[in-house]
Amino acid sequence: MKILVVSDTHGDSKNLYKVVMGHPEAKIIIHLGDGERDIDKIRDILKDKTILQVCGNCDICSSLPKILEETIAGKKIFATHGNLFKVKSDLDRLIQEAIKSGANVALFGHTHRALNVDQENLYIMNPGNLYGINGTYGIIDIDSGNIKGSIGKVCDLEEQSDYL
């Protein structure tokens, strides 16, 4: 099961569109906040995708959850924007909360810095930010109980001429 993980789009729905179109194999899209309305702008091309979202600190008046716990392909995913756990200081609070929830995967954004590590039974990913020419995103592949992840760069994808 391929999962596209994005965060901090901050109005750059063009990059979001480019990444979604560049990864048609991803059946699930997880947006980790600070771009709630960006998903809405491309929702018509996402009809065959499952979209999961959390609220970021810049998603004003959002009704999205601040924390999402979802089981996908037999693995429990803990997803949050990150500001609640002060991830700009350290990851200890986030890691402890993810472990407490029984998660296999912890996803967060907020720092705008990509991170992709497997740490003692907890896979941790921050896809970075999807804003601008140097935007990054994450791909998680859960296959036969194994979790593999990678960070991609928007600049490495082909341009999408049919952008809304």
What is the structure's pLDDT at 160?
Answer: 67
CATH code 3.40.50.300 for 2-156: no
* Averaged pLDDT score across all residues of the chain: 95
Query: How do residues 5-48 score in pLDDT, each as one tens digit?
Result: 999 999 999 999 999 999 999 999 999 999 999 998 998 888 89
Q: Are 82 and 110 in contact (CB under 8 A)?
A: yes
What does the domain layout of the chain look like in residue ranges?
2-156
pTM to 2 decimal places: 0.95
Per the rule left: phi > 0, alpha: psi between -120 and 50, beta: everything else, 3 is beta
Where would I find the H helices in 54-140?
92-100
Beta strands in the chain (DSSP E): 2-6, 28-31, 50-53, 67-72, 75-80, 105-107, 114-119, 122-127, 136-143, 146-153
